[in-house]
Amino acid sequence: MNNATRDVDTVDVVVVGAGQAGLSSAYHLARAGLDHVVLDHAPRPGGAWQYRWPSLTYGRVHGMHALPGMELTGADPLRPSSEVIGEYFASYEDRFDLRVRRPVDVSAVREGDDGRLRVETSVGVWSARAVINATGTWDRPFWPRYPGQETFRGRQLHTANYPGPQDFAGARVIVVGGGTSAVQHLLEIAEVAAETTWVTRRPPVFRDGGFGEAEGRAAVALVDERVRRGLPPQSVVSVTGLPLNEAVRAGLASGVLDRRPVFDRITATGAVWADGSRVGADVILWATGFRAAVDHLAPLRLREPGGGIRVEGTGAVRDERVHLVGYGPSASTIGANRAGGAAVREIRRLLTREPVGSPAA
């Protein structure tokens, strides 16, 4: 599709992002008969999945849920998840004629004319009665700061740029972070590295046994509480604990997953703890998570004093025209699906009111 610069276009709804949450929203918008456009900055279908490392095969994916109206069946568990899910998203866009426009970078969403929102992008401007923000977190990797970090002479990289274990052969590697990605990195890097050290701020919590619907609802409720208070959201995984599968049990037994508390400072050749102990390192891998990619919404001043955007359901409390899906409690794949449908229902109710309404008081 030609993405040449264009004049202002007018639609009912602009969807920003075409990952799980964005495609779910587009599906429900199409079923509702609402005029909309989906803008995605990625070069091809697949959302954040297209950037995942090749060694993350589909069979090792944690919690992938099918998009509404089309199951993902028959996938080879040994194929890279980036390929499997990328192809699935592409087929989904084709089946439901979602007509995602890409690559399009959304730079700002601000107040427009006549109660509309002005969506400014790399290819022009859209005027919308509502915006569904589905930008996820992959574009905002979080890099914590520690004394001496700039002096480290080895390599530092983040999960967002993780190339797979082959790049760490023979190296001494410190992996920082207590989530699922950190555990996956450690288990495969340890097979080729000279030495691995696992560092986390808090002791990891491993979950043994089943994780059913009741446990899932409880975990989502904890994340939802923060969002309702206007605090930056935590991931659902951060409150569910780490699953104790066969590979993790083996890592615990072998000592690969023996965790150390976070270091006091970083040196040119490694890290130093408060008790004076040291670990030499060639690489520091920051598996320290991501933050919500919502900077383009800054002109609307949606953030609360606590630093987050307060959300009721999917709607921003400070502006009922803006809905966030894949944010906070809807950051899981099944949560993103449900949030897409919920956002469209709320937007339909909003758009039946005349006039279109300015930001909520």
Other Cβ atoms less than 10 A from the Cβ of 165: the count is: 21
CA–CA gap between residue 70 and residue 67 (Å, rounded): 6
CA–CA gap between residue 341 and residue 348 (Å, rounded): 11
Backbone angles phi, psi at 81, to 5 degrees: -60, -30
CA–CA gap between residue 281 and residue 268 (Å, rounded): 9
Nearest-10 Cα torsion for 333, 337, 343, 345 = -160
Which residue has 């992996």 as its token pair? 175
User: Can you give the pLDDT of all 361 residues of the chain as single tens digits?
Assistant: 344 445 799 999 999 999 999 999 999 999 999 999 999 999 999 999 998 888 888 987 765 778 999 999 889 999 999 999 999 999 999 999 998 999 999 999 999 999 999 999 999 999 999 999 999 988 999 999 999 999 999 999 999 999 999 999 999 999 999 998 999 999 999 999 999 999 999 999 887 765 555 555 556 666 666 677 777 766 656 666 788 889 999 999 999 999 999 999 999 999 999 999 999 999 999 999 999 999 999 999 999 998 899 998 899 999 999 999 988 766 665 567 788 999 999 999 999 875 544 444 3
Sign of the dihedral through C-alpha 50, 51, 55, 60: negative
Whole-number CA gyration radius for the chain:
22
Nearest-10 Cα torsion for 245, 252, 157, 189 = -90
Other Cβ atoms less than 10 A from the Cβ of 286: the count is: 22
- Contact indicator for 293, 210 with CB cutoff of 8 Å: no
CA–CA gap between residue 335 and residue 252 (Å, rounded): 31
Backbone angles phi, psi at 274, to 5 degrees: -60, -30
To the nearest 5 percent, what fractions of the chain are helix, strand and coil? 30, 25, 45
Tokens of 162: 């993780």
**Contacting residues for 209 by C-beta, under 8 A, at least 6 apart:** none
